[in-house]
Amino acid sequence: MTRVLVGLSGGVDSSAVVELLREEGLEVTACVLTMQTAPVAVPTAEALERARALCAERGVPLVEVDVAERFAAAVVDPFVAEYACGRTPNPCVVCNAAVKFAALAAEADRLGCELVATGHYAGVERAAGGTPRVVRGADAGKDQSYFMYRLPPELVGRCRFPLGAQTKERTRAFARDRGLAAAEAPDSTGVCFAPGGDYHLTMAERAPELLNPGPIYAEDGTYLGEHRGIACYTLGQRKGLGLSGGPWFITRIDAAANALTVAQGTPPRARSFTLRMPVLWRAMPSEGLRCLAQTHYRAHPVSAQVTRAGDRLRVELEGAGTLAADGQSCVLYEGDAVIGGGFIALDNTCAGTDADRAPAGEKGQSV
């Protein structure tokens, strides 16, 4: 019988996966990863209790693994550091590769489980050469493939995402039908490690200087007002500026000067940029790679030409470009299949040399 380790958070998605795989006839073991205990418990006490109760009711072995030290070093500390540099971080992208899936794979090895399963809305397919790769989930509103581009193919090849072919509504209906306690559990929102999901509260505790007010300038240098701290903003942002005569959009974040630059009209659109710490899970043709580029979670993918640029990748977008922010991930797709990506470094900003180190806990990647 095939043995599978399920990453169980106590939410409806991972709880449904435990039940689905049991009904499929697999030998299921569940694993709760303790990411953080204070100031916010991840998972929450309520979610942990649901996870324990589900496993006790179903007779599923449960292991609990403390990864708090790794989570702090690989996710929380870099999250704060990125905002200090004027960038917009991607904590879920880093967590998936450096903490969550890495820890699940290691625990699966220890327990002798061939497969790892989670409640992500994504899928797995094999390319023509047999290389496993992540593909978009069927529910466009819940698709999480964007956050998984840094997972290496050898790990993807042993992953199961049972919810990838269905909608969130169907998952909740299944959970209700099976009497799962998590059936009505709310979806997690915001930053999981921050109080109430509000990352500003994390900044207030760990880096209060990032919430110091500073000047807002027009692109011609005219002083327009004060902002609430650079950690409150990202490139292209319009809301929360408190300026009249708009709409105004942020076009530059100067962390060293604690200043914002804004422009009227439409959001800034990037047509080219490089990718720091890139991964590419297919061969790069000599003339470059034609693919789709998605510059943030809810963005529409844009046709792009990708070429090598030293230890980075250069992305040239077709048409008018798209909204892009330093530090966010640009994920590369062939159709619905993830083939790579990296952290955006815009051409008119300085990313800082320290930013090119691979996230803590991430194994060597392919470019």
Task: Report the alpha-carbon distance of residue 355 to residue 336 in Å, rounded.
Answer: 29
Task: Provide mean pLDDT across the span 76-100.
Answer: 96
- Give residue 351's pLDDT: 39
pLDDT at 189 over 90: no
Residues 127 and 173 in one domain: yes
- The answer to whether residue 227 is domain-embedded is yes
- Give residue 112's pLDDT: 97
pLDDT at 364 over 70: no
Contact present, 15 and 123 (Cβ < 8 Å) = no
Q: Which of 182, 202, 236 is a domain's end point?
A: 182
- The answer to whether residue 308 is domain-embedded is no
- The answer to whether residue 197 is domain-embedded is no
Distances (CA, A) of 358 to 71, 91, 350: 15, 14, 18
How many CB atoms neighbour CB 207 within 10 A?
Answer: 16
290's torsion region: left (phi>0), alpha (psi -120 to 50) or beta? beta
Residues 172 and 45 in one domain: yes
Task: Report the alpha-carbon distance of residue 185 to residue 166 in Å, rounded.
Answer: 18
Q: Sign of dihedral through CA atoms 245, 248, 252, 257?
A: positive
Task: Provide mean pLDDT across the span 312-317.
Answer: 97
pLDDT at 183 over 80: yes
pLDDT at 363 over 90: no
pLDDT at 197 over 70: yes
One-letter-per-residue 3-state SS of the chain: CCEEEEECCCCHHHHHHHHHHHHHCCEEEEEEEECECCCCCECCHHHHHHHHHHHHHHCCCEEEEECHHHHHHHHHHHHHHHHHCCCCCCHHHHHHHHHHHHHHHHHHHHHCCCEEECCCCEEEEECCCCCEEEEECCCCCCCCHHHHCCCCHHHHCCEECCCCCCCHHHHHHHHHHCCCHHHHCCCCCCCCCCHHHCHHHHHHHHCHHHHCCEEEEECCCCEEEEECCHHHCCCCCCCCCCCCCCCEEEEEEECCCCEEEEEECCCCCECEEEEEEEEECCCCCCCCEEEEEECCCCCCCEEEEEEEECCEEEEEECCCCECCCCCCEEEEEECCEEEEEEEEEECCCCCCHHHHCCCCCCCCCCC
Q: What is the mean pLDDT of the chain?
A: 93
Residues 93 and 178 in one domain: yes
Can you give the residue range of the structural domain that contains 224? Answer: 212-264
Residues 104 and 224 in one domain: no
- The answer to whether residue 363 is domain-embedded is no
- Give residue 265's pLDDT: 86
Looking at residue 33, its amino acid is: L
CATH number, domain containing residue 139: 3.40.50.620
Q: Which of 182, 203, 220 is a domain's end point?
A: 182
* Total residue length of the chain: 367
- Give residue 367's pLDDT: 60
pLDDT-based confidence at residue 160 (cuts at 50, 70, 90): very high
Task: Provide mean pLDDT across the span 163-172.
Answer: 96
| 228-245 confidence digits (pLDDT tens) | 999 999 999 999 999 998
pLDDT at 79 over 90: yes
Catalytic residue list contains 291:
no
Residues 19 and 148 in one domain: yes
The DSSP bridge pattern shows strands 302-309 and 289-294 to be antiparallel
Residues 174 and 226 in one domain: no
pTM: 0.92
- The answer to whether residue 203 is domain-embedded is no
- The answer to whether residue 365 is domain-embedded is no
Task: Report the alpha-carbon distance of residue 78 to residue 95 in Å, rounded.
Answer: 11
Residues 32 and 113 in one domain: yes
- The answer to whether residue 95 is domain-embedded is yes
Catalytic residue list contains 95:
yes
Task: Provide mean pLDDT across the span 81-104.
Answer: 96
Residues 46 and 116 in one domain: yes
The DSSP bridge pattern shows strands 259-264 and 302-309 to be unpaired
Could you tell me which of 66, 72, 75, 69 has the C-alpha nearest to residue 32? Answer: 66
- The answer to whether residue 60 is domain-embedded is yes
Task: Provide mean pLDDT across the span 139-153.
Answer: 96
pLDDT-based confidence at residue 270 (cuts at 50, 70, 90): very high
Counting beta carbons within 10 angstroms of the beta carbon of residue 50, is it exposed (0 to 12), middle (13 to 18) or buried (19 or more)? buried
- Give residue 352's pLDDT: 39
The DSSP bridge pattern shows strands 62-66 and 27-34 to be parallel
Contact present, 180 and 17 (Cβ < 8 Å) = no
- Give residue 353's pLDDT: 39
122, β-bridge pairs: 136
Residues in CB range of 39: below 8 A, 6 or more apart: 195, 205
- Give residue 350's pLDDT: 41
The DSSP bridge pattern shows strands 302-309 and 312-317 to be antiparallel
Could you tell me which of 100, 132, 123, 87 has the C-alpha nearest to residue 6? Answer: 100
pLDDT-based confidence at residue 130 (cuts at 50, 70, 90): confident
Measure the N-to-C terminal CA separation of the chain; round to a whole number of Å. 37
CATH number, domain containing residue 233: 2.30.30.280
Q: What percentage of the chain reaches a pLDDT higher than 70?
A: 95
- Give residue 246's pLDDT: 78
Residue tagged active-site, from 31, 55, 192, 330: 192
Residues 146 and 53 in one domain: yes
pLDDT-based confidence at residue 127 (cuts at 50, 70, 90): confident
The residue written with tokens 């990748």 in the block is: 313
Task: Report the alpha-carbon distance of residue 281 to residue 77 in Å, rounded.
Answer: 28
Residues 160 and 96 in one domain: yes
How many CB atoms neighbour CB 98 within 10 A?
Answer: 24
Residue tagged active-site, from 31, 55, 92, 95: 95
Count up the domains in the chain and report the number.
2
